[in-house]
């Protein structure tokens, strides 16, 4: 992944107050990176960016700014042709987090219908708030994890970093004190059950912190009516599993952004009808 130039967010500020708030939050973010500290300040700062109103809690803002940058400036999950949702009608977002990807696609195509799955209750609350604050319609939020079974399962999360929650927080993160990881119980659903009765799906995004294969195994019927899939894969073994599984079901990989990194996006399009 290329280094983020978070100062680019300031250039997108739509008013002076947003610019001032961003300067404060960027300094917070720099301090967190240098000192490994955890912010305790929970003041909410309102930002006007990309035509939207965002409300960021200060202790959560360093992680939120990274995701804002990745989605709106770095175009994460949108790099391959046809993956920006402009020509789509129905999108499925598995691992919707705080809703930045959902909002970006709705900005590009307001007519979209999006089914957004997010099990982290804090992230789901923020997604719901952002949708309400901005008067966005056509978003169907499902507060469940997606898997290959419907059950209740343990789910790990970190209070101020909603972007790394999962059945198991994946990967080597020396900066993360494991004492900050909290485990809760969340409901799980399969896509085949949750999307029964939904017609053709033009685009699916999966970002689930190492549970990618389980999501796909629970979506065999759903995959048969899906045109494009972008999967953020975590680790070389998962990349091989995902590509083999989707290739066997009529998809072709058209782009791989992983490079030398342990994780990145694989883009697939359906070649068989």
Asked whether 207 and 162 are in contact (CB, 8 A), the reply is no
| H or E segment to which residue 21 belongs | helix 16-35
**Mean pLDDT, residues 5-29:** 94
Percent of the chain with pLDDT over 70: 92
Residue 92 pLDDT more than 60?
A: yes
**Mean pLDDT, residues 15-43:** 85
Residue 161 pLDDT more than 70?
A: yes
- The domains located in the chain, with CATH, are 1-74 (no CATH), 76-270 (3.40.50.150)
3-state SS, residue 9? helix
Tens-digit pLDDT profile for residues 56-78: 999 888 889 999 999 999 999 99
pLDDT of residue 77: 97
Higher-confidence residue of 182 and 134: namely 134
Q: Rounded to 5 degrees, what angle do the CA atoms 228, 234, 236 make?
A: 100
Residue 264 β-bridge partners: 233
pTM as predicted: 0.93
Half-sphere exposure of 66 (CA within 13 A, CB side): 17
* 37 band by pLDDT with thresholds 50, 70 and 90: low
Residue 146 pLDDT more than 80?
A: yes
**Mean pLDDT, residues 69-92:** 97
Tens-digit pLDDT profile for residues 200-215: 999 999 999 889 999 9
pLDDT of residue 108: 97
Start-to-end C-alpha separation, the chain? 34
pLDDT of residue 173: 56
pLDDT of residue 177: 63
**Among 29-43, 85-99, 257-271, the range of highest mean pLDDT:** 85-99
pLDDT of residue 197: 94
pLDDT of residue 39: 67
Q: Rounded to 5 degrees, what angle do the CA atoms 181, 58, 95 make?
A: 50
pLDDT of residue 259: 76
And the tokens for 233?
């894969």
pLDDT of residue 36: 63
Average pLDDT, the chain: 91
**Mean pLDDT, residues 125-153:** 96
Asked whether 8 and 71 are in contact (CB, 8 A), the reply is no
């Amino acid at each position: 992944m290329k280094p983020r130039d978070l100062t680019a967010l300031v250039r997108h500020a739509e008013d002076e107050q947003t610019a001032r708030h961003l300067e404060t939050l960027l300094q917070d973010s720099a301090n967190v990176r240098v000192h490994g500290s955890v912010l305790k300040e929970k003041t909410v700062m309102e930002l006007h960016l990309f035509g939207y109103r965002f409300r960021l809690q200060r202790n959560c803002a360093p992680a939120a700014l990274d995701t804002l940058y990745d989605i709106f400036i770095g175009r994460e999950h949108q790099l391959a042709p046809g993956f920006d949702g402009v020509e789509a009608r129905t999108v499925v977002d598995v691992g919707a987090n705080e809703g930045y990807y959902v909002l970006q696609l709705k900005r590009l195509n307001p007519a979209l219908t999006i089914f957004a799955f997010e099990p982290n209750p804090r992230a789901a609350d923020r997604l719901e708030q952002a949708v309400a604050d901005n008067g966005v319609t056509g978003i169907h939020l499902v507060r469940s994890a997606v898997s290959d079974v419907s059950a209740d399962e343990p789910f790990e999360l970190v209070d101020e970093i909603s972007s790394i929650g999962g059945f198991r927080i994946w990967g080597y993160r020396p900066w993360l004190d494991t004492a900050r990881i909290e485990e809760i119980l969340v409901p799980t659903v399969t896509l085949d059950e949750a999307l029964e009765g939904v017609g053709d799906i033009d685009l699916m995004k999966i970002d689930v912190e190492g549970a990618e294969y389980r999501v796909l195994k629970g979506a065999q019927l759903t995959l048969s009516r899906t045109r494009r899939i972008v999967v953020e894969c975590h680790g070389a073994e998962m990349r091989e599993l995902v590509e083999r599984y989707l290739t066997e079901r009529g998809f072709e990989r058209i782009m791989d952004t992983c490079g030398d990194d342990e994780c990145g996006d694989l883009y697939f399009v359906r070649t068989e009808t």
